[in-house]
Amino acid sequence: MKLYIDISQFLHNRFSTGIQRVVREFLQRSLLQMHDDVHIISFSSSSGSYYLLDNDEVKLFLKEFKNYQFQNFTPIDIFNTLQENKVFFDIDSVWNHDYQRIHLYKKLKIHHFKIYNFIYDLIPVLYPNLVKNKTRNNFNSFLNAVYTYSDFVFFDSESARDDFIIFQSSQEKKRNITTKIVYLGSDFIHTELSTPMKYNTVFYKFAPIKYILFVGTIEPRKLQPLLIEAYEELFKTHPDLHIILIGSIGWKVEKFKQYLYSHPLKDKHIHHLVNVDDDTLHLFYQNAFLVTYLSLYEGYGLPIAESLLRGNITIASNNSSMPEVGKNCAQYIDNTKEALLKTIRHYLENDTLYEKRKQYIKENYKHQSWDAFYNNLMKKIT
């Protein structure tokens, strides 16, 4: 079996979290376990063709993906190959790809490829007002291509799969598509920290403080504004408490960005960090008093799993996939300031309950590893 993986979008975006974390974790393992049978490719818009990347160089890229520049690009005609048992696996965020999947998949099927997809959520069709116009339009075309040509679709939650099936019922394409749920991993630290805590300059100044952590891109779907609104009330009685937001500024959040960056507590008690590496993110999770992950909708909610793995009391929204991810270990609330304040105060004002809940999470949370994620995928692909 020859596996083809297009990482054009990863090369363009170079994000460290979300879908790109999934891509990185999968590539690292596939290059180790099936080095000669995985073809990592990238599409050139200028030439209108694919290029094969050197696998050993891809390994270097995965270690320094922010700035790494590839030296070796080999032109490849993926269609006119004599190989049998060929799988084209779209695991990246390909809906905004220059090579529209409705055209690519049709050509792949003519040339006897099997097409596998990993779909993380259906946000662009369920909540179109929360995404960029380009994403909304392109995602509809991408889904049409999947419904028309895909042989197998993986999902990261039952919630996401249910949305996929329900949405398909409203479309013309009624094909039965084989599906499987594969939960994402949360153990992104594989070795001892390369930089000890006391030498990590980004984290070190935050180590002594008590803070609530929120990890996620600032975008309309994520509810960082709700946390700030609640914190303004909490600060009156708990001035020792801080808020740390980790994540890049996304789209359609101009008003909140202006509000956040002009806030009188900004950089004093409300902190916003971007481009945080994995070692540092691990430290922020490990040292948090509480973690919140509030959202209007999630296909998975990876920070919930990452937080619980590190034994944090984690407050999440009670919708979509989030109860599926956090199970009985996360604390679920409706997306209101009153509910959030009540839950935070519950732990701020009762040390015994706080420690008891932390111990419960430590004893009961069962995390999914990235190794298990990879193995569960490959059982169906090979």
For 82-108, how does the pLDDT look when each residue is reduced to its tens digit (9 = 90+)?
788 999 999 999 999 999 999 999 999
Query: What's the pLDDT at 195?
Result: 53
Tell me the one-letter amino acid at 190. H
Residue 87 DSSP class = E
What local confidence, expressed as pLDDT, does residue 74 receive? 94
Specify whether 227 is located in the same domain as 124: no
**Do residues 178 and 314 share a domain?**
no
User: Based on the domain organization, do 122 and 268 belong to the same domain?
Assistant: no
pLDDT for 199: 59
Domain membership flag for residue 192: no
Domain that holds residue 141: 2-185+370-381
Q: Where are the alpha helices (DSSP H) in 150-242?
A: 158-168, 201-204, 224-237
Q: How confident is the model over 248-258, as a mean pLDDT? A: 95
Structure confidence at residue 189 (pLDDT): 60
Do 162 and 241 lie in one domain? The reply is: no
Closest C-alpha to 160, from 129, 125, 111, 194: 125
**Prediction pTM value:** 0.93
User: pLDDT tens-digit profile of 309-359?
Assistant: 999 999 999 999 999 999 999 999 999 999 999 999 999 999 999 999 999
Give the model's pLDDT for residue 200.
79
In this predicted structure, what is the pLDDT of residue 159?
97
Total domains in the fold of the chain: 2
Q: Are 11 and 94 within one domain?
A: yes
Q: What is the CATH number of the domain that holds 231?
A: 3.40.50.2000
Whether 158 and 211 map to the same domain: the answer is no
pLDDT tens track for 198-221: 557 889 899 999 999 999 999 999
In this prediction, what percent of the chain has a pLDDT beyond 70?
Answer: 97
**Which band of pLDDT confidence, cut at 50, 70 and 90, is reported for residue 382?**
confident
**Same-domain pairing of 360 and 374:** no
What's the rounded Cα separation, in Å, for the pair 147 and 136? 17
d(CA 380, CA 207): 43
Q: Are strands 49-53 and 38-44 parallel, antiparallel or unpaired?
A: antiparallel
Domain annotation covers residue 190: no
Q: Is residue 275 in some structural domain?
A: yes
Is the pLDDT assigned to residue 191 strictly greater than 80?
Answer: no
**Per-residue model confidence (pLDDT) at position 82:** 72
Asked if 233 and 348 sit in the same domain, the reply is yes
pLDDT bucket at 17, cuts 50 / 70 / 90: confident
The pLDDT assigned to 171 comes to 86
134 and 74 in one domain?
yes
Asked if the structure places residue 301 within a domain, the reply is: yes
Q: Are residues 283 and 164 in the same domain?
A: no
| Residue 191 lies inside a defined structural domain of this protein | no
For residue 211, being part of any structural domain is answered with: yes
Is residue 21 located within the same domain as residue 106? yes
Q: Is residue 269, in this structure, part of any structural domain at all?
A: yes
208 and 281 fall within a common domain: yes
